[in-house]
Amino acid sequence: MPTILKLRSHRYEVKPGLTVRDAMLKHDIRPEEVIPIRDGELISEDEIIREGETIRLVPVISGGRRF
C-alpha cells in the first residue's frame, strides 16, 4: 500500500519514515503554506510518516488588510 501526501487533486508518493516536512520539501511543497492532517487531526511537520497512510495537506489561506 503506497504512502501518500495529498494536496488538492495532487497525490505524491513518499517513503515512510520521513518527517512530513522532509517529504513536503522533496516534492517542492512549502511547509509554511500547508497544514498536515492525519486521520482528521492536525499534526506537526515533525511527525514521522507511517507505511500506507495518507497525509492530507490543507492550504493555509490568509488575507485581510495590513495594519
Q: What is the pTM of this model?
A: 0.86
Look up residue 47 and give its DSSP letter. S
How do the pLDDT tens digits run along the chain, 67 residues long? Answer: 789 999 999 999 999 999 999 999 999 999 999 999 999 999 999 999 999 999 999 999 876 676 6
Domain ranges of the chain: 4-59
The topology under which CATH files domain 4-59 is Ubiquitin-like (UB roll) (3.10.20)
φ, ψ of residue 22 in degrees (nearest 5) = -60, -40
Rounded Cα distance between 66 and 13, Å, is: 38
